[in-house]
């Protein structure tokens, strides 16, 4: 036994030395992540840096700073421990702050409230019966589903049987629309390099609404700049109608790439959200990838992400209505 300990000492392998090395590696990674977040974020053309930025969201940086503080305390570096505690407080404050948006107040002109549920159903890997159970618990008027199974007649029958009050529209590429109302013509398009959208005008109890489904590929090394730029063009072409843009953006909400959308639309959670925001991955969500947006024709009343183990994405449930201006147009065409 003593011979083994002597060998380890001769090689210079000591537990404290390993802990210090691990501490230095994590601290370096933390500072690199923060430097990226304070400078280029995901605007750089170096895809590996973008991937590293997406892999180090603010909640993870908070946990890492707390862990480094405890490690510094264990190593008896009191000043370093105090520094990491301060860093953790700063990160916690930054993660908790949000650029709240405000919509104009509705006056006496009332519009029927509608409920929309956006959900990436993860291909129904935990069973579509469980998917249906979660959906029915929210009793939405509009279900916008991503990764919801193949567009077959068998799946159409399945959805229609479980949602007899809704019209079922299979949009292709595992996108499905369930609607209390009627859907019009569907426009299919790409969000290059790897993404897609579906655009459809629907008629509901609230009135006519234009919906844009968004599904951007999740590979972190792919640029999100081009697909969001194309989506911005679609939004500019649709400004005359009440518009809802929803889907799996596979891009964190705090990305500066959303600035064109922020300038044109309102985000449902920023406007009327309550509770914990991140939607992926279950069971410890860190990133807000699933989002609902609207133009000035829509007013959000409430937005909340549900907790559900049926998918690796949390459902987003939104209550909304048409704005006063849109109601006047409906009543006086």
Predicted local distance difference test score (pLDDT) of residue 45: 78
Predicted structure pTM score: 0.84
Tokens standing for residue 33: 């992540």
- Cβ-in-10-Å burial (0-12, 13-18, 19+) of 254 comes to middle
User: Which of 256, 237, 242 is CA-nearest to residue 300?
Assistant: 242
What DSSP line would sit under 222-275, residue for residue?
Answer: S-SHHHHHHHHHHHHTTTTS-EEEEEE--S-TT-GGGHHHHHH-EEHHHHHEES
* CA pair distance 272, 298, nearest whole angstrom: 12
Confidence (pLDDT) at 333: 54
Q: Give the CA distances from residue 184 to residues 140, 154, 181, 235, in Å, rounded to whole numbers and listed in that order.
A: 19, 22, 10, 18
**Where do we find the tokens 């862990």?**
67
Residue 191 pLDDT: 95
| C-beta atoms surrounding 27 within 10 Å | 17
281 φ, ψ to 5°? -100, 150
Residues whose CB is less than 8 angstroms from the CB of residue 278 and which lie 6 or more positions away in sequence, other chains included: 57, 59, 285, 286, 287, 288, 305, 314
How would you classify the pairing of strands 298-305 and 273-274? parallel
The total number of residues shown for the chain amounts to 333
Q: Three-state SS for 168?
A: strand
How would you classify the pairing of strands 298-305 and 316-322?
A: antiparallel
Q: Which pLDDT value is given to residue 106?
A: 45
Structure tokens at 180: 């209390």
pLDDT string in tens for the chain (333-residue length): 444 444 444 445 578 889 999 999 999 999 999 998 888 888 887 888 888 888 898 888 989 999 999 999 999 999 999 999 998 888 776 655 455 555 545 444 467 899 999 999 999 999 999 999 999 999 999 999 999 999 999 999 999 999 999 999 999 999 999 999 999 999 999 998 889 999 999 999 988 999 999 999 988 888 899 999 999 999 999 867 899 999 999 999 999 999 999 999 999 999 999 999 999 999 989 999 999 999 999 999 999 999 999 999 999 999 999 986 665 555 555
Helix (H, G, I), strand (E, B) or coil at 179: strand
Give the Å distances, CA to CA, from 104 to 211, 241, 326: 22, 17, 13
Going by C-alpha positions, the residue among 177, 274, 192, 185 that lies closest to residue 228 is 192
Please choose, from the candidates 157, 111, 143, 147, the residue with its C-alpha nearest in 3D space to the C-alpha of residue 126. Answer: 147
Secondary structure class of 202 (helix, strand, coil)? strand
| Structure tokens that stand for 62 in this block | 């908070």
- pLDDT, position 2: 45
């Amino acid at each position: 036994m003593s011979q083994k300990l002597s060998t380890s000492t001769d090689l210079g392998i000591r537990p404290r030395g390993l802990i210090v090395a691990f501490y230095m590696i994590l601290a370096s990674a933390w500072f690199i992540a923060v430097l990226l977040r304070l400078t280029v974020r995901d605007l750089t053309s170096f895809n590996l840096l973008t991937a590293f930025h997406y892999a180090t969201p603010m909640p993870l940086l908070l946990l890492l700073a707390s862990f480094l503080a405890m490690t510094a305390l264990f190593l008896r570096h009191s000043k370093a421990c105090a520094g990491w505690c301060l860093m953790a407080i700063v990160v916690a404050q930054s993660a908790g702050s949000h650029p709240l948006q405000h919509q104009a107040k509705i006056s006496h002109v009332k519009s029927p409230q509608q409920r929309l549920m956006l959900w990436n159903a993860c291909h129904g890997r935990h069973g579509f019966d469980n998917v249906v159970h979660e959906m029915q618990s929210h009793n939405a008027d509009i279900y916008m589903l991503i990764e919801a199974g193949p567009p077959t007649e068998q799946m159409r029958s399945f959805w229609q049987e479980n949602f007899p009050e809704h019209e079922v529209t299979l949009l292709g590429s595992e996108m499905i629309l369930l609607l209390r109302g009627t859907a019009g013509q569907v426009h299919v398009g790409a969000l290059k390099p790897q993404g897609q959208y579906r655009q459809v005008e629907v008629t509901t109890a609230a009135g006519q609404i234009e919906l844009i489904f968004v599904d951007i590929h999740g590979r972190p090394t792919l640029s999100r700049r081009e697909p969001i730029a194309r989506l911005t063009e679609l939004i500019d072409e649709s400004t005359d109608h009440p518009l809802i843009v929803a889907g799996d953006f596979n891009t964190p909400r705090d990305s500066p790439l959303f600035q064109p959308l922020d300038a044109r639309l309102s985000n449902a959670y920023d406007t009327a959200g309550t509770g914990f925001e991140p939607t992926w991955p279950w069971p410890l969500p860190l990133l807000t990838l699933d989002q609902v947006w609207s133009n000035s024709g829509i007013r959000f009343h409430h937005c909340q992400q549900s907790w559900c183990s049926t998918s690796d994405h949390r459902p987003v449930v939104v209550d909304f209505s048409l704005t006063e201006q849109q109601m006047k147009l409906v009543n006086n065409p």
